[in-house]
Amino acid sequence: MSCVFCSIVAGQAPAIRIHEDDDYLAFLDIRPMVRGHTLIIPKAHHVDLTDTPAPVLAGMMALGQRVALAARASGLHADGSNVVINDGKAAFQSVFHIHLHVAPRRRGDKLRFAAGVLLRRDPAREETGRLLRAALH
């Protein structure tokens, strides 16, 4: 199998499984940003955000919410979570099987996602809005 996440679903690659049902699998990230960093995937292979049906995305988010609640209720003592989908290579997607990151957060944990990000202003906001509205049809 060329997709590592499909290999995990098939039981051919190791993972610390957190939850599994007929459609989804949640497992600990092998390179966690924080303790409890969990990935939520559909068992069916979908490449990225644009390739994944909306009901599948909704199911991923529902399971992500359950994992975030578990991180708060567990001994991880999370105060919140970062919930992220990296969509495409430009957005740092490294495994091309759609996945939702749930990173439990604690006040003062020192993890910073926005470090070094500059405030940007779109000089063509009206045009940007027009382009997006037109593409949404």
Give domain 4-112's CATH architecture.
2-Layer Sandwich (3.30)
> Mean per-residue pLDDT for 15-40?
95
Residues written for the chain: 137
Q: How far apart are CA 137 and CA 133, in angstroms?
A: 6
Q: pLDDT by residue (tens digit) across 59-118?
A: 999 999 999 999 999 999 999 999 999 999 999 999 999 999 999 999 988 887 666 666
Q: Which of 4-18, 47-61, 88-102, 108-122 has the lowest mean pLDDT?
A: 108-122
Mean residue pLDDT of the chain comes to: 92
**pLDDT attached to residue 124:** 85
Q: How far apart are CA 128 and CA 132, in angstroms?
A: 6
Residue with tokens 């995937």: 41
- Report angle CA 88, 105, 86 to the nearest 5 degrees: 5
pTM: 0.88
Domain boundaries of the chain, sorted by first residue:
4-112
**pLDDT attached to residue 99:** 98
Active-site annotation, residues: 99
The three-state secondary structure class of 24 is: strand
- Cα distances from 37 to residues 1, 25, 69, 132, in angstroms, run 25, 14, 13, 33
